Amino acid sequence: MAGAYESPSQFIEHHLTNLTVKTDPTGGFWTINVDSVITAVVLGLIGFGFLYSISRKVTQGVPGKAQAFFEVLYEFVDTQIKDVYSGDRKFIVSLGLCVFVWITLMNAMKFLPVEWLAQGFALVGIPYWKPVPTADLNTTLALSLSVIGLVIFFSFKAKGFGGYIHELFCTPFGSFPLLWPINFVFQLIELVAKPLSLALRLYGNMYAGEIIFLLIALLAGAGIGGVIFGALLHAGWAIFHILVVPLQAFIFMMLTAVYIAMAHEHH
Amino acid sequence: MNITMTLILQAIAFAIFIFFTVKFVAPPLATAIETRRRQIADGLAEAEKGKASLVIAQKDADKIIAEAKAKAAEIVALAEKQRNSTIEASKSEAKAAGDREKAAAQAEIDQLSVKAKEELRDRVAELAVAGAERILKREINPQVHSDLLGQLKAEL
């Protein structure tokens, strides 16, 4: 359907533009990417609603198929986190489960055919709809900053206020007063680098994957041969994303667990 | 790609989902898994205990069987001995009875043969006398020749 656009780059740009609502006439920070928020929330409601419906009927005896699925998922997260964190891990496992399920679902929106969504939303009068919330830096940054917020919270909780402040100024180089500023700068860099790397890794992977999907979709503009070739390429890229989608969610979950485990470590 | 208020909304959604997962979704499942794990562990321990007690019971049973076997062998040996002595006793008894019978029969036989001999002697003497009478064509007086006849009888 690239014919409806003036150039391929316009087609790609259109499909990567968020549906926005300005809450302030000046725009800027006060705009909301409605598609990202609605997709993310709806997926969260579906995913966690489904898990909650299983959880309510949970039995200690022989589990049903749905419960077995949930248990496999839970045990998977639990096993991973057991390796990096040795304390009471109930909260971290729940957090990891939440992160893994939600990000997987959001990433999985890539599997939906890009052009069908765009055309479908255009039919009901919605000009833009970017389907993958994790291909929006706002979403990934929201996730990673929340995680870092939790890391700071757990640092205070595990080491006490004085203990964490002491760590901020006295590690990694030592407690000599002249080293305090250097230590603090290093700690700040770490605190900024962690959420940035988390957010940019997920965002970059998803955004790049989305662009490739759109480039493949452009092939359909080259006639019947392009449609067939594009379909094959699309299938291949989608199959590859069966790996990428859960892998990125897994990496995000593991790093979340590792950061929180590090927050509990005493220097 | 601007950083906008979307970030704050997504963070709020994330916080709500974390709270929901931590509070409602995960705990029942975690409890169920933990309880089942404990049940399985207990069951395995019970099975181990059962196995151990089975081994002990098997040992006891073996001991009892061995004892019973020994006792049975003892009884059989005793019975064998009893039987042998009974057989021996009846054998010797039978032999003694046989000997007695044999002795009685022998005595009777002896008695009869003596009697027969006596009779034979009498008859032979008579025959000899009769033979001699015929030869001599006259009667020999037994009284006259009684010493001769007696001599003859003694010779037979």
Domain boundaries, chain B: 6-155
Q: Are A202 and A252 in contact (CB under 8 A)?
A: yes
Structure tokens at A114: 């890009």
Q: How far is CA A17 from CA A135, A136, A181, B1, in A?
A: 11, 10, 43, 9
**A258 Cβ contact partners less than 8 Å away, ≥ 6 residues apart:** A84
Q: What is the pLDDT of residue A130?
A: 87
Judge whether A205 counts as a catalytic residue. Answer: yes
Q: What is the pLDDT of residue A4?
A: 63
Does residue A63 have a cis bond before it (omega within 30 degrees)? no
Interchain pair B3, A138: CB under 8 A: yes
Active-site residue, selected from the candidate residues A55, A94, A175, A197: A197
pLDDT under 70: residue ranges of chain A: 1-4, 267
Q: Are B15 and A41 in contact (CB under 8 A)?
A: no
Task: Give the H or E element holding residue A32.
Answer: strand A31-33
Residue B52 to residue B31: CA distance in whole angstroms: 31
Å from A229 to nearest chain B CA?
31
Residue A11 to residue A22: CA distance in whole angstroms: 24
Residue A138 to residue B138: CA distance in whole angstroms: 182
Q: What is the pLDDT of residue A3?
A: 47
Tokens 């100024």 found at: A169
Q: Running DSSP on this structure, what letter comes out for residue A21?
A: E
**Testing the interface with B: which of A39, A70, A98 to mutate, by most B Cβ within 10 A?**
A98
**Model pLDDT for residues B25-79, shown as the tens digit of each residue:** 999 999 999 999 999 999 999 999 999 999 999 999 999 999 999 999 999 999 9
**B41 touching A, CB under 8 A?**
no
**A202 Cβ contact partners less than 8 Å away, ≥ 6 residues apart:** A103, A134, A140, A143, A144, A248, A251, A252
Q: Which residue did the predictor score with more confidence, A125 or B11? A: B11
Q: What is the pLDDT of residue A5?
A: 74
Q: What is the pLDDT of residue A2?
A: 39
Q: What is the pLDDT of residue A25?
A: 77
**Model pLDDT for residues A200-229, shown as the tens digit of each residue:** 999 999 999 999 998 888 888 788 888 999
Residue A228 to residue A240: CA distance in whole angstroms: 19
- Residue A35: give the domain boundaries: 2-263
Q: What angle do CA B150, B155, B156 make, to 5 degrees?
A: 100
Interchain pair B22, A146: CB under 8 A: no
Interchain pair B5, A32: CB under 8 A: yes
Nearest Cα to Cα of residue A220 among A231, A209, A211, A210: A231
Judge whether A183 counts as a catalytic residue. Answer: no
Interchain pair A54, B9: CB under 8 A: no
Judge whether A56 counts as a catalytic residue. Answer: no
Tell me which chain B residues have a C-beta less than 8 angstroms from the C-beta of A33: 4, 6
pLDDT classification of B139: cutoffs 50, 70, 90: low
Tokens 């830096």 found at: A137
The torsion of the CA quartet A130, A135, A136, A138, rounded to 10 degrees, works out to 150
Residue A4 to residue A219: CA distance in whole angstroms: 14
Interchain pair A137, B1: CB under 8 A: yes
Tell me which chain B residues have a C-beta less than 8 angstroms from the C-beta of A58: 28-29, 31-32
Q: How many structural domains does chain A have?
A: 1
Q: Running DSSP on this structure, what letter comes out for residue B25?
A: I
Helix axes A114-123, A8-15, angle to 10 degrees: 70
- How many residue contacts between A and B have a Cβ separation below 8 Å? 129
Tokens 């390429």 found at: A233
What percent of chain B is predicted at pLDDT more than 70? 95
